[in-house]
Amino acid sequence: MTTLERDKKYLIQCYTTDDVVFSKGKGIYMYDENGKKYLDFSGQFSACTLGHGNEEMIEALKEQLEKLVSVTSCFATEERAALAEKMVEISPDGLDKVMFGCTGSDANEFALKLAKYFRGGGRIISFRRGFHGSTAGAAAATGKSEMIQENSGISELLPRGFVHSAPPYCYHCDFGKEPDTCGMQCLKYLEQTMLHEGGDRIAAVISEPIFAAGGVIVPPKGFWKGVRELCDKYGALLIFDEVVTGIGQTGSMFACQYEGVTPDILVTGKGLTSGYVPGSAILCRRQIGEAMSKISLHGHTHSCYPLTCRSALKNLEIIQRENLVENSQVVGEYLHKKLLALKDKYDVVKDVRGRGLLQGIEIEGSQNTDKFALGQELYETMLRNGLITELESRKNLENVVVVMHPALITSKENVDEAVEIIDKSLSACLK
């Protein structure tokens, strides 16, 4: 049997699997088992901040493997202490305590526990179209109407006390408003949700600063400052899920820094370790973290894993030394302009949005073309033409968005190559 046949025979196929077997990667490129080269503009779910096969990272991990690999969170290590210090250094002022996890899902789970414990209970408010993970609490906070919400047989696994508010999605406004005249109706609706659905207490509001998996939804300017004010007004904590948007992906170390809004709890992952070792981090205000002292509320065998900490430390060292956050901003702006040119060229490209190297293009159908079919055909055509992207496309969510979040090492030449493939693929799909 071929690799793909064995994979399909033995692996539980939780995800839609493309018929491609990757065998190696170098820089921003990946290669399948036949040697075909692909430009990786998904960053493998935005994890590969340094790209594939970074020799400096590999050497650092080799050194760590020879030194110390597995230590439970019951014991301190040099790597854990150094990374904790580094995370506080690079994060917004006021976030002074940190814990490490294995994935974005379990990090968000811990953030929700932090909020519930610190606030003495209360409801969690999140947004429709937001995504926070696949573990129980993180899935309950997720507002994308994933299968676990839709299937009555498994939705019982979700905990109670989660409420979804309207998202700040200007292109698909839930209220049918236009951005220039809406008066930020979504913010007003959030306050109504807090008043009517919050009960006697709200533990927290959780959201991605930019809704990545929901279709690169960039809230209007001033929205997060308004949310911060509402949280302060009603005594709720503000949790920013920066699992995708953190570590330079949007052109600043964290996306919340664009508006100068500091959350009470900040979660990051994926790009934290550049995908070389799974890992995540949760930062919070000192009083929140210290309230958890010696409370056995959360933990995993591989939390604070020395190899994870070493990977994150080396990753951050390279990012800062090579000015990759600035590169994300500059090259991201270049990518945005090139995508806007495609919008001018093709009627089916209706919106281009994003910050830094997190960008999305929203597709609509034509008189003779269903937009969901077009989106799938475009995704598959781009893949055949050597470009890896992601597709946000579900009929109940009503949108079709090609999502891109390539590595922070992406160059303008890489952008030119990617946009040429998108252009060629759109042209082929619309013939």
Cα separation, 64 vs 306, in Å, equals 8
167 contacts 211 by C-beta, under 8 angstroms: yes
Q: Which of 269, 288, 321 is the last residue of a domain?
A: 321
Q: Are residues 149 and 180 in the same domain?
A: yes
Q: Which of 291, 321, 351 is the last residue of a domain?
A: 321
Over the range 300-328, which residues count as b (16 or more CB within 10 Å of their CB) and which as e?
bebbbbbbbbbbbbbbbebbeeeebbebb
Q: Are residues 398 and 268 in the same domain?
A: no
Q: Are residues 43 and 128 in the same domain?
A: no
Q: Are residues 309 and 342 in the same domain?
A: no
Q: What is the DSSP letter of 272?
A: G
CA distances from 401 to 204, 300, 375 (A): 29, 35, 8
Of the candidate ranges 29-43, 144-158, 280-294, 334-348, the one whose mean pLDDT is the lowest: 144-158
Domain containing residue 213: 58-321
Q: Are residues 294 and 356 in the same domain?
A: no
Cα separation, 244 vs 241, in Å, equals 8
Quick check: 74 pLDDT over 90? no
So what's the pLDDT on residue 17?
80
**What's the pLDDT tens digit per position in 220-267?**
999 999 999 999 999 999 999 999 999 999 999 999 999 899 999 999
Query: Full-prediction pTM beyond 0.85?
Result: yes
Q: Are residues 172 and 226 in the same domain?
A: yes
Of the candidate ranges 3-12, 329-338, 410-419, the one whose mean pLDDT is the lowest: 3-12
CATH number at residue 371: 3.90.1150.10
CATH number at residue 281: 3.40.640.10
Q: Are residues 242 and 302 in the same domain?
A: yes
Closest to 254 measured CA to CA, from 276, 228, 281, 292: 281
Q: Are residues 165 and 46 in the same domain?
A: no
Of the candidate ranges 314-318, 344-348, 364-368, the one whose mean pLDDT is the lowest: 364-368
**What's the pLDDT tens digit per position in 165-210?**
999 999 999 999 999 899 999 999 999 999 999 878 999 999 999 9
Q: Are residues 71 and 124 in the same domain?
A: yes
So what's the pLDDT on residue 241?
98
Quick check: 349 pLDDT over 80? yes
Helices 324-345/306-321 angle, 10° precision: 70
Quick check: 289 pLDDT over 70? yes
Quick check: 83 pLDDT over 90? yes
Q: Which of 321, 345, 377 is the last residue of a domain?
A: 321
Mean pLDDT of 70-91: 94
Q: Are residues 209 and 197 in the same domain?
A: yes
> What average pLDDT does the structure give for the chain?
94
Closest to 309 measured CA to CA, from 116, 67, 120, 16: 67
So what's the pLDDT on residue 204?
98
Cα separation, 150 vs 142, in Å, equals 12
Beta-strand (E) ranges in 243-398?
265-268, 280-284, 349-355, 358-363, 387-388, 390-394
Q: Which residue has the higher pLDDT, 139 or 366?
A: 139
User: What does the angle CA 366 – CA 371 – CA 377 come to, to the nearest 5 degrees?
Assistant: 110
Q: Are residues 147 and 295 in the same domain?
A: yes
The total of structural domains in the chain comes to 2
Q: Are residues 136 and 262 in the same domain?
A: yes
Q: Which residue has the higher pLDDT, 197 or 148?
A: 197
Which pLDDT band, with edges at 50, 70 and 90, does 294 fall under? low
**What's the pLDDT tens digit per position in 374-428?**
999 999 999 999 999 999 998 888 899 999 999 999 999 999 999 999 999 999 9
